[in-house]
């Protein structure tokens, strides 16, 4: 017999994820009988000519964006697998996201499908719509190719090492495996350090304890940073007064703590119980342990510098490069506005440290990585992912995966490390500066469409 806790948790998640498409279907069938499926050359409710085009080319795609935006923020938000993410393997098509965000790509996908449906059904004005869609898609692809071919002034590349420990979830917090976990990460890091990285990155809560409070852990990690002669970012729990935080800490190559970031957007029913006074009983129904974490309130930008000595023709030259970056913990990278705010405050690249061991060997770790790809494109910054069980990779500013931890063909449920180098374009995109302006435009179009069709219905 199935555990009722599994069933209850599944029902809660399915219900939340089903709300957005349900609202979309409701909106696009208002007034009754006015959906695209019901519109023909002799349109009901007086929906002739321009109204058919408006509904197909503007209202329906905008309504989809509206519901995706709701899913991003409603009940703390869960924008997992937005429609746009289906195009992560088509980099030239998604570059327009640096203007519209991921929502613009979702809009175009729905627009294309509506156009094809209308043409197949020979609905009035569908030929004109298809021509317009073809022109729009051509312009989007041209823009994408232009963005991907842009070059930037040469500068020293930052060398990064990513360590993937592959610690099963049932072992992560078992005291019997404490030394085993640290030993594994140390061994992998020592191998990665042979290639002289500037920055070493471990995943979320890779430390099986509290770095600031457990001296043996603190000594081992400090010594590791010194031996590797590299900056060192890792995930750890951190306690302050009565609160426990899911945090990222940066050490210098001398082993000194340079700063910390406390996770801001906590996972509901994973790291805390939302609306505790209303939903306390759900704790017993969810089949996973629920933490009681404190949420951070500061969008931290880590800063460090690297000095290099170059011998050119017998002349010694010393160069200094300054680097700013921010860490996104766990699923924070699926929230577009969080990444945008970090970049707007000065981060020149982003690091996502995560523990996706919960998902096992499934499609979910790859779906999670799709969010990081879009964050890179939207803000035109590299994104580095360090995941306990995968996917750990380096994504360039155009959303291309340039390095990934693998064993053979497997990228998840494997241990390993990679060394790679990233370039840092010094640009601010329209999306970084203005945010979800396109999504808000779609929301206005949606409400205008609802009002317009109701008014026309009443006149008949």
Rounded distance between C-alpha atoms, residue 456 and residue 262, angstroms:
52
Rounded distance between C-alpha atoms, residue 357 and residue 174, angstroms:
15
Contact 295, 267 (CB under 8 A): no
Q: Does the pLDDT at position 4 exceed 60? A: no
One-character DSSP codes across 154-198: --PPEEEEEEE----HHHHT-GGGHHHHHHHHHHHHHHHGGG--S
Residue 101 confidence class, pLDDT cut points 50, 70, 90: very high
Structural domains present in the chain: 4-151+436-459 (no CATH), 158-264+299-426 (3.60.110.10)
Residue 25 annotated to the active site: no
* pLDDT one-digit tens code per residue, 154-199: 567 899 999 999 999 999 999 999 999 999 999 999 999 999 999 9
Mode of pairing for the β-strands spanning 243-251 and 257-262: antiparallel
**C-alpha 262: how far from chain center:** 18
Is the peptide bond between 31 and the residue preceding it cis, with omega within 30 degrees of 0? Answer: yes
Q: What is the DSSP letter of 272?
A: B
Rounded distance between C-alpha atoms, residue 61 and residue 439, angstroms:
11
Q: Does the pLDDT at position 13 exceed 90? A: no
The rounded percent of the chain whose pLDDT value lies above 90 is 69
Q: Give the alpha-carbon dihedral of 120, 122, 128, 130, to 10 degrees.
A: 0
Q: Which range is least confidently modeled, 122-126, 204-208, 250-254?
A: 122-126
Asked whether the whole model's pTM tops 0.85, one would answer: yes
**Which pLDDT does position 394 carry in this prediction?**
98
HSE, CB side, 13 Å, CA atoms: give it for residue 80: 16
**Which pLDDT does position 456 carry in this prediction?**
64
Residue 125 confidence class, pLDDT cut points 50, 70, 90: confident
Q: Which of 68, 218, 300, 330 is catalytic?
A: 330
* pLDDT one-digit tens code per residue, 304-354: 999 877 766 667 777 788 999 999 999 999 999 999 999 999 999 999 999
Rounded distance between C-alpha atoms, residue 206 and residue 224, angstroms:
14
Q: Is 337 helix (H, G, I), strand (E, B) or coil?
A: helix
Structure tokens at 150: 């842009």
Q: Which of 68, 125, 204, 271 is catalytic?
A: 204
**Which pLDDT does position 384 carry in this prediction?**
98
Rounded distance between C-alpha atoms, residue 437 and residue 171, angstroms:
44
Residue 393 annotated to the active site: no
The owner of tokens 């990460």 is 185
HSE, CB side, 13 Å, CA atoms: give it for residue 443: 10
Residue 442 annotated to the active site: no
* Rounded mean pLDDT, 84-108: 98
Q: Does the pLDDT at position 47 exceed 50? A: no
* Rounded mean pLDDT, 289-308: 85
Q: Which of 263, 300, 380, 415 is catalytic?
A: 263
Neighbouring C-beta atoms of residue 399, cutoff 10 Å: 27
Which contiguous run of DSSP H or E holds residue 422?
A: strand 416-422
Output the average pLDDT for the chain: 88
Print the SS3 string covering 190-253: HHHHHHCCCEEECCCCCCCCECCCCHHHHHHHHHHHHHHCCEEEEEEEEEECCEEEEEEEEECC
**Which pLDDT does position 31 carry in this prediction?**
55
Which one, of 341, 350, 348, 336, lies nearest residue 433 by Cα? Answer: 341
Structure tokens at 342: 């970090």
Residue 426 confidence class, pLDDT cut points 50, 70, 90: confident
Residue 10 confidence class, pLDDT cut points 50, 70, 90: low
Query: What is the rounded end-to-end Cα distance, in angstroms, of the chain?
Result: 57
Rounded distance between C-alpha atoms, residue 335 and residue 348, angstroms:
18
**C-alpha 320: how far from chain center:** 31
Rounded distance between C-alpha atoms, residue 426 and residue 331, angstroms:
26
């Amino acid at each position: 017999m199935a555990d009722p806790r599994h069933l209850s948790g599944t029902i809660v998640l399915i219900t939340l994820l089903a709300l957005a498409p349900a609202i979309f279907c409701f909106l696009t069938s208002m007034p009754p009988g006015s959906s695209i499926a019901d519109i023909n050359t002799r349109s009901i409710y007086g929906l002739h000519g321009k109204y058919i085009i408006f509904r197909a080319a503007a209202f329906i795609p905008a309504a989809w964006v509206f519901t995706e935006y709701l899913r991003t923020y409603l009940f703390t938000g869960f924008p997992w697998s937005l429609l746009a993410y289906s195009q992560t393997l088509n980099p030239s098509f998604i570059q327009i996201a640096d203007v519209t965000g991921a929502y613009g790509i979702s809009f175009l996908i729905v627009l294309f499908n509506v156009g094809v449906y209308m043409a197949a059904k020979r609905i009035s004005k569908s030929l004109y719509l298809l021509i317009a869609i073809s022109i729009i898609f051509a312009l989007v692809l041209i823009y994408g190719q232009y963005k991907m071919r842009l070059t930037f002034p040469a500068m020293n590349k930052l060398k990064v090492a990513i360590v993937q420990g592959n610690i099963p979830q049932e072992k992560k917090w078992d005291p019997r495996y404490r030394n085993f976990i640290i030993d594994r990460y140390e061994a992998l890091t020592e191998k990665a350090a042979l290639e002289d990285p500037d920055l070493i990155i471990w995943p979320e809560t890779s430390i099986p304890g509290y770095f600031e409070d457990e001296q043996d852990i603190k000594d081992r990690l400090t010594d590791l940073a010194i031996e590797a002669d590299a900056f060192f970012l890792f995930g750890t729990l951190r306690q302050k007064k009565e609160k426990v935080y899911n945090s990222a800490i940066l050490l210098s190559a001398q082993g000194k703590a340079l700063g910390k970031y406390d996770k801001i957007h906590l996972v509901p029913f994973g790291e805390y119980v939302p609306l505790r006074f209303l939903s306390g009983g759900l704790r017993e129904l969810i089949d996973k342990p629920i933490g009681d974490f404190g949420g951070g309130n500061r969008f931290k930008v880590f800063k460090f510098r690297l000095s290099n000595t170059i011998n050119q023709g017998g002349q010694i030259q010393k160069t200094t490069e300054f680097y700013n970056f921010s860490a996104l913990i766990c699923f924070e990278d699926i929230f577009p506005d969080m990444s945008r705010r970090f970049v707007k405050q000065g981060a020149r690249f982003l690091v996502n440290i995560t523990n996706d061991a919960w998902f096992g060997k499934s499609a979910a770790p790859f779906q999670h990585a799709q969010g990081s790809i879009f964050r890179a494109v939207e803000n035109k910054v590299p994104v580095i992912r360090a995941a306990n069980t995968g996917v750990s990779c380096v994504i360039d500013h155009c959303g291309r995966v340039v390095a990934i931890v693998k064993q053979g063909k497997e990228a998840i449920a494997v241990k390993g490390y990679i060394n790679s180098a990233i370039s840092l374009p010094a640009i601010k995109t329209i999306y970084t500066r203005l945010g979800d302006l396109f999504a808000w435009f779609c929301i206005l179009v949606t409400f205008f469409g609802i009002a317009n069709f109701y008014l026309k219905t009443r006149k008949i």
